Amino acid sequence: MSNYYQPEIETAPYEQIRKWQDERLVKQIKHVWDNVPYYRKKMEEKGVTPDDIKGVDDLKKLPFLVKDDLREAYPYGLLAKPLNECVRIQSTSGTTGKRVVAFYTQNDIDLWEDCCARAIVAAGGTKDDVCHVSYGYGLFTGGPGLNGGSHKVGCLTLPMSSGNTDRQLQFMTDLGSTIICCTPSYAAYLTESIYEKGLRDQIKLKAGIFGAEAWSENMRSDIEQKLGIKAFDIYGLTEISGPGVSFECEAQTGMHINEDHFIAEIIDPDTGEVLPEGEKGELVFTCITKEAFPMIRYRTRDICVLSREKCPCGRTHVKMSKPMGRSDDMLIIRGVNVFPSQIETVLLQQGYPANYQIVVDRVNNTDTFEVLVEMTPEIFSDSLGKITEMEKSLVSELKAMLGISAKVKLVAPKTIARSEGKAVRVIDKRKI
Ligand code: DLL
């Protein structure tokens, strides 16, 4: 039996959702036109005014925003409210260049926390739960978002933040955590530590809410089995608020996008053309309720598929697939597109843990491609012959999945650095 945090919204008929979107979009575009000169200029350049936007069908007339716009407009150029009406900033983990800084009014925080509360309730959360939040707190949106959602649901909230695994496990056992929120790679690490310390019998977890990075179905079933929990995916990005832009329900077949707040489109990343439902492409979001930092047609670079198929959970909001990679971090190795998640799938299928690192380099104008894979203590063997055989077998499995050859190196247990946040999966040394 499904539970909802805001049933009248989460199960609203599609016509109602569409009505909210039409009305809110028109209002939002006026708000942005009036208050964000940077975006107004972009609209003018495209020859669009707020009068041209009557509803969702007109969305495609509007210009896109990309990460470079955020860097260019840093820090206040995309702010749509006076600074003294803003109460919070959050920021992305940032790769190159300036960090992305997102602003929130109190109302923005309130709606964002509602989204996170929907995710927690969908994972079975109630006010009787002890919700253990091990996403980082601070500028990263993971900790603050799930913390706020957990309060709204009324769970006893443990604001653990990331790191200090011994302390995490002590609180988890002493206080009887029932829901754990963290990155999937940290969940896998915690699981490993629970077994190592013989704590499995003292763990009361029933659900995990894992997101912020890609993870495979095999990783899900591995964690679910070992901890005896149900593992739910949660998606989001700082620019669009943080975690809770979409979340999984008990059906575990994609994440419901909170469409009363965000309009989703799928585009061809090369041409920008909007693709029909069911086609794979880049996800684009328009925020229709955010006041301080309303992204319009923001290109996420995440590649996925949308589906309006009826969901057994009763929610009516569109579902997105797990991101299958990013249009900008997809690796092109010797001309072949490679997603790290494909490599992870092969490893888990072959009984290896998801502790791996992809190293790409260019030697004599040819790409080198190496996958370092950690063995578990069970499969660890110091017989050179056996290791060579296992490496060979992985090489052929990877070749079958990817269409190109990788060099595989099996390394001893615990030699690849563990992450408390997002795992570093790819080391690309090429200078192209
Ligand atoms: O990672 C927000 C978040 C926190 C989501 C906690 C879920 C849980 P950023 O640091 O801005 O925000 O990174 C956003 O991370 O564009 C995706 O590429 C990736 N990402 C987020 N969630 C998932 C997921 C947070 N469930 C970027 N699966 C996004 C795969 C994800 N990738």
| Whether the CB of 237 sits within 6 Å of ligand 1 | yes
The 3 state secondary structure assigned to 379-423 is: CCCCCHHHHHHHHHHHHHHHHHHHCCCCEEEEECCCCCCCCCCCC
Q: Mark 403-430 as b/e (b = at least 16 C-beta within 10 Å).
A: eeebebebbeeeebeebbbbbebeeeee
Note whether 312 and 239 are same-domain residues.
yes
Q: How far apart are CA 207 and CA 3, in angstroms?
A: 14
Look at residue 250 and tell me whether its pLDDT is greater than 60.
yes
Mean pLDDT, range 125-147, rounded to an integer: 96
pLDDT at 162 over 70: yes
Residues 352 and 262 in one domain: no
Same domain for 319 and 195, yes or no, is yes
Residues 420 and 313 in one domain: no
395 lies in which domain range? 331-428
CATH number at residue 351: 3.30.300.30
* Protein residue closest via CA to atom 23 of ligand 1: 212
Kindly state whether residues 322 and 335 are assigned to the same domain: no
Q: Residue 185: its pLDDT value, please?
A: 80
Is residue 136 within 6 Å of ligand 1 at its C-beta?
no
Query: At which residue do the structure tokens 């940290």 appear?
Result: 186
Q: Which of 296, 326, 356 is the last residue of a domain?
A: 326
Q: Mean pLDDT over all residues of the chain?
A: 92
Q: Are residues 75 and 201 in the same domain?
A: yes
Dump pLDDT digits (tens) for 21-69.
Answer: 999 999 999 999 999 999 999 999 999 999 999 999 999 999 999 988 9
Q: At which residue do the structure tokens 């469409």 appear?
A: 259
Number of domain units in the chain: 2
pLDDT in tens, 336-393: 667 788 888 899 999 898 889 999 997 866 689 999 999 988 878 767 788 999 999 9
Q: How far apart are CA 397 and CA 385, in angstroms?
A: 19
CA distance 379 to 265: 45
Mean pLDDT, residues 74-93? 93
Looking at the structure, do residues 346 and 308 belong to the same domain, yes or no? no
Q: Ligand 1: distance of its center to the CA of 198 in Å?
A: 32
* pLDDT at residue 127 in the model: 98
Arithmetic mean of pLDDT, 159-168? 94
| Residues 133/160, Cβ–Cβ less than 8 Å | yes
Note if the bond before 75 is cis, omega within 30 degrees: yes
319 and 235, same domain (yes or no): yes
Per-residue model confidence (pLDDT) at position 120: 98
Contact by Cβ (8 Å): 91, 103: no
Q: 265, 296, 326 — which closes off a domain?
A: 326
Q: Which of 269, 297, 326 is the last residue of a domain?
A: 326
pTM beyond 0.75: yes
Does residue 134 sit in the same domain as residue 199? yes
**For ligand 1, mutation pick of 66, 141, 326 (most atoms within 8 Å of CB):** 141
The reply to whether 198 and 313 lie within a common domain is yes
Q: In this structure, are 263 and 370 located in the same domain?
A: no
- On whether both 340 and 286 belong to a single domain, the answer is no
